Chains A and B, each alone.
Chain A
Amino acid sequence: ETGVTQSPTHLIKTRGQQVTLRCSSQSGHNTVSWYQQALGQGPQFIFQYYREEENGRGNFPPRFSGLQFPNYSSELNVNALELDDSALYLCASSEDRYSYEQYFGPGTRLTVT
């Protein structure tokens, strides 16, 4: 059974640029959630995708957007990067949108300079 994978591992971007982060969900899982973890904080929910549709969103501006593909992999896109976007971005998959238990990938460390 393949776990959740994310790419890239690390990324450095300049303020104002755009970034795309990728996630492959665990085998058999059709729901993907994205979280942002700032230093010293717990993960904060960005949004969730279920069967290619957004299924809930946290308190993040519209410049945070996402996609889910037919194979249930997902992308997180962030436009007009700000310094405060520097964080660990975590992807989590679950069996379906009603599953409480989510399984996380290793994360992508984004640094905005």
Chain B
Amino acid sequence: DARVTQTPRHKVTEMGQEVTMRCQPILGHNTVFWYRQTMMQGLELLAYFRNRAPLDDSGMPKDRFSAEMPDATLATLKIQPSEPRDSAVYFCASGLGDRGLGLAGTRGETQYFGPGTRLLVL
């Protein structure tokens, strides 16, 4: 049963430290998404990649966050320096377009989420 994996599952760090979160997408999926979930804001899209190229990172604070895909099996999300307001659960998801076309020649896409990294910045 193919799954998205994320490491670490939990991270406690002090303000100002660098945090790196890793994601292994499902083999063969060409799209990787990073989401953040907090009680106040709910689930928010931070950034996503297609075929390893960044497509949209408008949801990400540019001054401290960076996302990369060194290869097709690894996506990383870094925060430097970290701040208490970054405390959240960070989810990675991967996707592959569904087969077939619907109305107007379009198709749907299913996303598969990892278990998340729970980050606490003190």
Q: Does B associate with A?
A: no
